[in-house]
Amino acid sequence: MEHTPVLLRECIEGLNIRPGGIYVDGTICRGGHAAEIAKRLRSGRLIGIDRDAEAIDEAGGRLKEFGGRITLVHGNFEDISAILDSYDINAVDGMLFDLGISSPQLESARRGFSHMRDGPLDMRMDQRDEQTAFMIVNQWPEEKLRQVLYDYGEERYARQIAFSIVKKREKAPVNTTFDLNDIILSAIPPSARREQQHPSKRCFQALRLAVNNELGAITEMLVTAPDRLEKGGRLCIISFHSLEDRLVKNAFNARAKGCECPKDFPVCVCGKKPELKIVTRKPITPGGAELSENPRARSAKLRIAEKI
């Protein structure tokens, strides 16, 4: 299944691309955003990064026409500084990070990301990683499971679901996505099963975040990425969940504020200056036309900041 890049026009406009600039697509996926960036480059360069080796392979085929303008890296965007150092790049003119999961990943049953496809409980973005969703579901203590489902999935029935998982695995391992889906549905009240959003969606989100340490990677990226921007360089981040969007919003605000002195101090004594200018005071969201073509984009939020 082809992956449709979310908020494509808004991202390209937000990056304010210069033909000779250096740019990073930190989640290149199948190359949708990257292709539009590369089309606008002449002497410039694009570094495309992704944790998923399959995404890198597919992007390589799609972006072949751009030749040496694009360098593909199988890696984690939390290591952005080390990746740029490895190519002797001190600073770049713009970075884009799409924190969502791609349609091909969701549609592939063997990857185990979706409650709608019966497959192994995997959920690894990088197949080189050891930890899988199967390990978390079948080995983690009940309280730790509850905390993950509540903190990462904002699941109000986290306690009941964690209890049901532990009871089920005492008899036999929870092997597949459909096994887990059945446990979730049996653990929640009938009213919750009738909600518009599928009742398993929050739990699957929580497990994916836990398997891949995604919030930790995002936090590290938000610390290091602004430091590697040229003055006037843009940082564009698309998030799909409130947890991710809150991290991005707070990180942007902290860098834009500068001074950390208590409010009752008459003058600043910390000397910390603003490092970013927030371009989008409110996040950009998809319009009706995009949603009609790509309903999965409905929860996307794009925030943009500029290096001062």
Measured CA distances, 260 to 12, 124, 271, 301, 305 (Å): 33, 38, 9, 27, 19
pLDDT score recorded for residue 2: 59
If we measure between CA atoms, which residue out of 119, 118, 123 comes closest to residue 105?
123
Quick check: helix, strand or coil at residue 72?
strand
pLDDT score recorded for residue 244: 96
Task: Locate the domains of the chain by residue range.
Answer: 8-104+215-307, 130-211
pLDDT score recorded for residue 194: 84
What are the contacts of 132-135 at 24+ separation with CB within 8 A?
132/211, 133/180, 133/207, 133/208, 133/211, 134/173, 134/174, 134/175
End-to-end CA distance of the chain: 40
CATH code 3.40.50.150 for 8-104+215-307: yes
DSSP H helical ranges for the chain? 8-15, 32-39, 53-62, 80-86, 103-107, 133-139, 142-153, 158-171, 177-187, 190-193, 201-211, 214-224, 242-257, 288-293
Q: Phi and psi (nearest 5°) for 6?
A: -85, 140
Sign of the Cα pseudo-torsion (129, 153, 104, 78, in order): negative
Both tokens of residue 22?
A: 């250096």
How many residues in total does the chain contain?
Answer: 308
Element spanning 93, H or E: strand 92-98
Return per-residue pLDDT of the chain as tens, 308 residues: 556 799 999 999 999 999 999 999 999 998 999 999 999 999 999 999 999 999 999 999 999 999 889 999 999 999 999 999 999 999 999 999 999 999 899 999 999 999 999 999 999 999 999 999 999 999 999 999 999 999 999 999 999 999 999 999 999 999 999 999 999 999 999 988 888 789 899 999 999 999 999 999 999 999 999 999 999 999 999 999 999 999 999 999 999 998 888 888 888 888 889 999 999 999 999 999 999 999 989 999 999 999 99
* Secondary structure string (H, E, C) spanning 139-197: HCCHHHHHHHHHHHHCCCCHHHHHHHHHHHHHHCCCCEHHHHHHHHHHHCCHHHHCCCC
pLDDT score recorded for residue 86: 98
pLDDT score recorded for residue 1: 52
Identify the architecture of domain 130-211 in CATH.
Orthogonal Bundle (1.10)
pLDDT score recorded for residue 3: 65
pLDDT score recorded for residue 197: 85
If we measure between CA atoms, which residue out of 175, 147, 146 comes closest to residue 163?
146
